[in-house]
Amino acid sequence: MIRSFIAIKISEEVLQKIVEVQNILKESGVSVKWVEPENIHLTLKFLGDTSESQIEDIVRVMQESTQGTGPFQISIARVGAFPNLRYPRVIWVGVQDVQEALQKIQHRLEQGLHGLGFAIEEGVFKPHITLGRVKSEKNKSNLLRTVETVVNTEFGVLQVNHIHLIRSDLKPTGPEYTVIQSVELRN
C-alpha cells in the first residue's frame, strides 16, 4: 500500500511568494507544523492508502477527468484559516478566481475515483494551498495579528498544465512526496 493524492504543483514564482509569507507567519511564534516548501501543492483529491495495483486505474480516471480541458490559469491570493481565523487549525493560501476547468476536473475525479472505491469528499470543494497546521493555542493572538498583515497578499497567476498523482512517504523528518504519474491537460 502507498499513501497518495492528486495535486497541482506550484510554480517557482508563486512558491517564492508563498514561502516569503510563510516566513513572516513563522515569526509570530505560533505552534504550527509548517509545510516544507518542496511539499507545497494544491490538492485535488486525497486518496490515502492505495494499492499499487490501483495506480493504472487511477491514472485512467485522471486522464478521463482532464479530457477536453486544456491548460488554464488560476489566481493565487489571500491568506486564511480553516475553520476560521478565530479558531485556526489549518493556515492556507487561497485560489481567487476558481476556474470552471478546475471545478470540472475535481468533480470528475471525485466521480471517477468513487467508481474505484474511494469515498467522495463531503461539502463544497474549496481549493487552497496548505501552509501549515496549528498544533496548539500558544501565541494564537500573535498569529492572528500577523495574518492580518498578509491576508490580502496576491501571489500571482498559476499556469495549470498538468495534474499529478503523488506518493507520500511519511518519514521521521516529515513527508516525502514523489510524483508517480503526470497527466497533461489537452484540449
Q: List residues with catalytic annotation.
A: 41, 128
Quick check: 129 and 40 in contact, CB under 8 A? Answer: yes
- Give the strand order in the sheet containing 128-134: 32-34, 128-134, 88-95, 72-83, 154-160
Phi-psi region of 116 (alpha: psi -120 to 50; beta: other; left: phi over 0): alpha
Quick check: 73 and 157 in contact, CB under 8 A? Answer: yes
> Which amino acid, 175?
P
CA distances from 99 to 48, 103, 152, 180 (A): 26, 7, 20, 26
Query: What DSSP designation does 143 have?
Result: H
